[in-house]
């Protein structure tokens, strides 16, 4: 209920100077007044959220499609649902890029093309590059406000008809942590989240808000640079650790190629979206046990990267090996140890 009012207030505030367009997405008058009666705490929530939305108004939601991309400001995100290229019978995946990236970065383009090629998704890239740039400490300090603005936009999209169960939130690095922080003010049950090597620096202190397994029905994590740019510990329902989940990932040149291992997370994930069988991972107590052959895939507990579903009941740490270059997925060979 709280954010319902927030949605109304922020749309009204943001549209002080614009003509009727976004107001077309507001609920009927009666429901607005019913909600208004819910009390003061709603009003306070409305004030702080309209502030996040207005302070972070340079965040854009871009609906990617093969027929062209539609970009819209965070304050008016629900209007994307009426875009000609938005297909209401498909699921909707959001991708949130990391530090110093944008909608034009390889991560955004590769992940979104993979979902478009797959064919059963609307794809929306959340571009928060106005706030995620150099230096890292500045991006980090913008993250709570940006998360709040993104959460409010998602709440309003759901209130204006986007089915919550059709949403899959994905993000790389700082974008993955943004989703975790946003989940605190998201008012619907998030179905599914994939965090691609969630950022480590700034999030490893106990008590700091970040992506955790409580954020959604299913939280899948792909670790590729744990302890360097990536978060150092399991943080999902399904934690997948390709090649042990740490630098140096195969094909990366020592530590000299800065960030190479960190970027592997979205490369693997994007490939997995289109190749369901390419990245099986087997549950095991540790990478060392996996490498010793202690967790054979046949009869073991196996998940497929990018193809987990809420309710599947498989949780824990999962391991596999990959190739050094694209195509990275090795299929069954990736979980077969020739000791
Ligand atoms: C919300 O903001 C308005 C105007 O900025 C102010 O008058 C009102 O008291 C605020 N409400 C709360 C609950 O903070
Ligand atoms: C919202 O922003 C205005 C102006 O920036 C500020 O005066 C006000 O205190 C803020 N309200 C809340 C609830 O943070
Ligand atoms: C959509 O935007 C991406 C990122 O800038 C770009 O690579 C792609 O070509 C655009 N798609 C279309 C159809 O214009
Ligand atoms: C929307 O998606 C459904 C399901 O894939 C498909 O049958 C339909 O043709 C799509 N509609 C448009 C306008 O592309
Ligand atoms: C998952 O586990 C719950 C509780 O243990 C059980 O009720 C449910 O049937 C299980 N679902 C599947 C798909 O195995």
Tens digit of each residue's pLDDT (9 = 90 or more) over 45-92: 554 556 788 899 999 999 999 999 999 999 999 999 999 999 999 999
The pLDDT value recorded for residue 338 is 73
**Which residue among 64, 66, 95 is best mutated to probe the pocket of ligand 3, counting the most ligand atoms within 8 A of its Cβ?**
64
The pLDDT value recorded for residue 12 is 28
Taking the CA of 39 as reference, the closest ligand is: 1
Instruction: Decide: 166 in ligand 4 pocket, CB within 6 A.
Output: no
Query: What's the DSSP call for residue 179?
Result: H
What value does the mean pLDDT of the chain take? Answer: 87
Q: How confident is the model at residue 313 (pLDDT cuts 50, 70, 90)?
A: confident
Instruction: Decide: 89 in ligand 4 pocket, CB within 6 A.
Output: yes
d(CA 86, CA 77): 12
d(CA 283, CA 230): 21
User: 64 C-alpha to center of ligand 3: Å?
Assistant: 7
Residue 166 φ then ψ, to 5°: -95, 0
Mean pLDDT of 10-26: 28
d(CA 239, CA 2): 33
* Residues with C-beta less than 6 Å from any ligand 3 atom: 64, 68-69, 103-104, 109
* Residues with C-beta less than 6 Å from any ligand 1 atom: 40, 43-44, 47
User: 7 C-alpha to center of ligand 1: Å?
Assistant: 15
The pLDDT value recorded for residue 300 is 75
Taking the CA of 68 as reference, the closest ligand is: 3
The pLDDT value recorded for residue 73 is 97
Kindly state the tokens that stand for 279. 């990245």
Among residues 61, 141, 149, 125, the alpha carbon closest in space to that of 266 is found at 125
Which atom from ligand 1 is nearest to the alpha carbon of 43?
13
CA distances from 163 to 62, 89, 160, 220 (A): 19, 10, 9, 21
Does pLDDT of 15 surpass 50?
no
Among 13-17, 47-51, 177-181, whose mean pLDDT is lowest?
13-17
The pLDDT value recorded for residue 165 is 96
Kindly state the tokens that stand for 31. 């429901």
CA distances from 178 to 54, 98, 185, 296, 297 (A): 18, 9, 12, 36, 34
Kindly state the tokens that stand for 207. 């008590």
CB 320 within 8 A of CB 280: yes
């Amino acid at each position: 209920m709280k954010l319902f009012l927030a949605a109304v207030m922020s749309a009204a505030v943001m549209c002080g100077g614009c003509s009727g367009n976004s107001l077309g997405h507001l609920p009927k008058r009666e429901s607005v007044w019913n909600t208004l009666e819910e009390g003061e705490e709603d009003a306070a929530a409305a004030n702080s959220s309209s502030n996040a939305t207005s302070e972070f108004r340079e965040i854009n939601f871009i609906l990617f499609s093969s027929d062209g991309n539609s970009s819209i400001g965070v304050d008016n995100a629900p209007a994307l649902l009426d875009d000609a290229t938005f297909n209401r019978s498909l699921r909707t995946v959001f991708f949130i890029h990391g530090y110093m990236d944008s909608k034009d970065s390889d991560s955004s383009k590769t992940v979104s093309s993979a979902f478009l090629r797959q064919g059963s998704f609307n794809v929306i890239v959340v571009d928060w590059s106005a706030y995620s740039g150099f230096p890292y400490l500045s991006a980090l300090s913008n993250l709570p406000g940006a998360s709040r603005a993104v959460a409010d936009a998602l709440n309003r999209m759901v209130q204006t008809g986007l089915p919550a169960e059709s949403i899959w939130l994905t993000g790389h690095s700082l974008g993955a942590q943004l989703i975790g922080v946003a989940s605190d003010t998201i008012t619907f049950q998030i179905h599914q989240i994939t965090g691609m090597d969630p950022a480590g620096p700034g999030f490893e202190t106990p008590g700091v808000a970040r992506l955790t397994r409580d954020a959604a029905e299913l939280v899948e994590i792909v670790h590729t640079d744990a302890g360097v740019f990536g978060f150092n510990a399991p943080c999902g329902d399904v934690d997948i650790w390709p090649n042990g989940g740490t630098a140096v990932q195969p094909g990366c040149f020592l530590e000299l190629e800065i960030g190479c291992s960190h970027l592997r997370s979205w490369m693997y994930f994007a490939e997995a979206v289109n190749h369901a069988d390419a990245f099986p991972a087997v549950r095991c107590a540790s990478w060392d046990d996996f490498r010793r052959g202690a967790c054979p895939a046949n009869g073991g507990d196996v998940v497929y990267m990018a193809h987990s579903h809420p309710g599947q009941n498989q949780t824990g740490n999962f391991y596999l090996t990959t190739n050094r270059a694209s195509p990275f997925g090795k299929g069954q060979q990736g979980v077969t140890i020739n000791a």
